Structure 1
């Protein structure tokens, strides 16, 4: 196990252990990340898997990769230990079947499976590698009555649109970029995660109107920001068009962003500039003219892009590209030597 220097992240790779210890250690880690479980696999004798544990305050994530595998949470294990948490599994590759009581749910890529630690279940993956992200959220942190939540626990929910797609984006961004977050940000990320999970359940219950106002506001803000990032290439992306796309007034939209200390137009411009910076620093895009990069990220003309870029970074796009190229060459020089 290796501790990260930023978020509290522990990483397991079966290749780091003797062959005979790999499967048992993996089973222990899954039981720690979720709740005590029995695992079975056709590949237990030479297990090849990875698992990371990411602590976000009360909530946590555990992205994992494994071959064919079955998970069993039994009544006996529940009596031994029950953290009373809700669990979501986001499948990224592969799939399987979840069974509980007399119900069954088929899982595929970008599906969420839900369960809770007080319920016995069996999950059997399909043959072949599986990539998934496990999500653990205490049921007390979800702003919906437990009696109502139980109505949708066990359902498969889509991560391909709406709140589900927003939650997928959040999970992928956090698990792929843990080095960009500071330890103090973990509880805030955990609260955002709990709000998104609550919103996903509320949508399944058709109960979004019963969510606390702060949860609805935060979820709407995240939806709006995701919409903006998806549409940066549109030169007609404006506060007005964003407000219309989300059926809110422009004043309400500005109020959402004012809480973060920014304007809607400022957020759009900042996201465009960040994306343009990435292209300018990309060696494989060095032959792409700067005016093409500007248009690609929604700037209507080269002069507007240059002014905005200089105002934000104190340097022209051309000079920024040159400096990035020089830095890349200097980094590669020792290796070449």
Structure 2
């Protein structure tokens, strides 16, 4: 990961620095801004194999990618913007899209576009994604049709991609360098699935992308429903409109059964509460019940997973809450 900020530069040089940086991250473009005289901005560039993710914060700006710039240099990539703060209008001549928090917008480095942005609170906050066309697991004709179409980031695979990008940026220090290529494949697969859904071309995705996307969606669903005592493979399969047998096939490639995944995630939630001083006055059996365990079952599962009882774990930090 590389971090860039221009606050150390003289005010007169900051905008030019940002323009050069963005041209290297995405593609050469012309920029203009009413704040060009003192343009404070920062950006992280996260290389995930061939995919790049770049969270950034900057004042309102207008981006222009012209035919002349495309002829001069074209990295041949698709771009997604997840807008976290601010708004904008992207104009491809044949299509115009208003962007704001709640909607992804897509671009193609091979097409002219003008993007005008503004922000009531002074700065744009976004996460950009660059996926080379050569590695996107979706036929180019379908990906091209998706450029300029709105993609909600709060439902379906769009919500999953949004969650993945936000968590990736938040948890960057926890990842190893060796994790980069695999994470890049995940982001590219989710991007392809999102674009495929927008154009009704999801059936053109390779089978492994379908499986990986299904696994990610199921994991997200499990996290959201861990407190539901009825959570089961059958319920999960029905919620995702797939058969239970296909669900189990998906998770054979994940090296964990669906039932084991549910139990592991519930145990982690319970363990986190045992380690939290705010839960010291809550009996262990109450915490166990919150995560759908009986007292004896919880003790056995906890000892198997962590080589100690729940009470012993809580006692490690001197907690004096009641035991089982």
Q: Work out which of the residue numbers 235, 238, 252 in structure 2 matches 1:258.
A: 252
Structure 1: give runs of 5+ residues left out of the alignment: 1-8, 327-337
Check whether the contact 1:281–1:325 (CA below 8 A) recurs between aligned residues.
no
Query: TM-score scaled by structure 2?
Result: 0.91
1:46-195 aligned at under 5 Å gives the runs: 46-127=38-119, 128-195=122-189
> Cα deviations across residues 20-39 of structure 1 (Å, max 9, x unaligned)?
43332222221111111222
Whole-Å Cα distance in 2 between the matches of residues 325 and 135 of structure 1? 45
Among 287, 298, 301, which residue is 2:294 paired with? Answer: 301
The residue aligned with 1:226 is: 220
Measured in 1, the distance between the counterparts of 2:200 and 2:293 equals 41
When the two structures are aligned, how many residues end up with a matched partner?
Answer: 317
Cα deviation digits, residues 185-222 of structure 1 (max 9, x gap): 21111111111111111101112222211111111111
Q: TM-score, normalised by structure 1?
A: 0.88
**In structure 2, the residue corresponding to 1:151 is in which secondary structure?**
helix
Change (3 A) 1:257 1:42: same
Rate the CA distance shift 1:312–1:61 in 2: closer, same or farther, 3 A. Answer: same
8 A Cα contact 1:49 1:66, kept in partner: yes
**Partner Cα separation in structure 1 for residue 298 and residue 12 of structure 2:** 59
| Corresponding position: 1:310 with 2:310 | no
Match of 1:202 among 186, 196, 202: 196
Secondary structure of the corresponding residue to residue 2 of structure 2:
strand
Tell me the equivalent position of 1:319: 312
Give the secondary-structure state (helix, strand or coil) at the position aligned to 2:125: strand
Conserved in 2, the CA contact under 8 Å of 1:70 and 1:122?
Answer: yes
Instruction: Give the Cα–Cα distance (whole angstroms) in 2 for the partners of residues 264 and 138 of structure 1.
Output: 33
Change (3 A) 1:295 1:67: farther
Is the 2:196–2:202 Cα contact (8 Å) retained in structure 1? yes
Structure 2 counterpart of 1:5: none
Uncovered stretches (5+) of structure 2, i.e. residues with no partner: 320-324
Distance in structure 2 (CA, Å) of the matches to 1:101 and 1:159:
24
Deviation at 1:324, TM superposition (A): 4.0
RMSD: 1.9
CA gap of 1:115–1:299, structure 2 versus 1, over 3 A, is: same
- Relative to structure 1, the CA distance from residue 34 to residue 325 in structure 2 (aligned partners, 3 Å threshold; closer, same or farther) is farther
| C-alpha distance 283-72 of structure 1, shift in aligned 2 (>3 A) | farther
For the residue of structure 2 that corresponds to 1:260, the secondary structure is coil
